[in-house]
Amino acid sequence: MRYFIYLSYDGTNYHGWQIQPNGNSVQAELNRAVSILNGEPTEVTGAGRTDAGVNASMMVAHFDSTVLDNTECNQITHKLNRILPRDIAVSKVAAVTDDAHARFSATSRTYQYHIHTERNPFQNHYSYMPPFPLDFNAMNEAARHLFDYTDFTSFSKLHTDVKTNNCRIMKAEWEQTSETTWVFTIQADRFLRNMVRAIVGTLLDVGRGAISIEQFCRIIEQKDRCSAGTSVPGNALFLTGVDYPTHLFQ
């Protein structure tokens, strides 16, 4: 039987989601926990790859088991949480169809990037404070132009193994959550490596007046990562949602 695991994690202590040869990863910890529960080496497949230091308030992964077929999903959830470290938490486990795939069956993914504009020691861990004032109206106007494009090579990490850099963006918007805090929410059918952090970094260039909205559009059209802005720190980025067709769930 195939299961989806819904989990969250603090990415501070991990070299990203994917297993790394020289550092611990969220996937490695989840593999270890599921293998103990399954009674044999078991590999989980995630909905995507988050970079080093990036967090997730909702990630999805799948695994297969013949051992757990008669085990209630809430029992699997409880047992996994007893094995996993405290910075990884499973919220639920769901039985799915045999062809359901955490990565390839997903119809969209949502990320949020957090910014604070006033010095605050309690926000530094999960939010980023730019060292310059920002025009969020201009940043939102620039963000709306993301809907006009599908090729986001300019915001992709170089030398990746993907076959296409095309993505369909469904939402891209800055929202003010308090007098000094803002959140950028972006939803798409897929994301490229480093894409959200590069988009945010380039939008910050618009917000501080370093580039115009027209230049922002030209950067996308150039399909050149070197022309885009610097990637923002990963600690303020969260994967917040992954959507699937309802027919996958048993």
DSSP 37-92: HHTS----EESS-PPTT-EEEEEEEEEE-SSSTTS-HHHHHHHHHHHS-TTEEEEE
Phi then psi for residue 28, to 5 deg, are -60, -40
Q: Are 9 and 56 in contact (CB under 8 A)?
A: yes
d(CA 86, CA 30): 12
Distance of CA 15 to the CA centre of its chain: 14
Phi then psi for residue 82, to 5 deg, are -75, -25
Catalytic residue check, 51: yes
Phi then psi for residue 93, to 5 deg, are -125, 135
Catalytic residue among 10, 51, 98, 151: 51
Q: Which segments of the chain does DSSP mark as H helices, in order?
A: 26-38, 73-83, 136-144, 195-207, 213-222
- Active-site residue list: 51
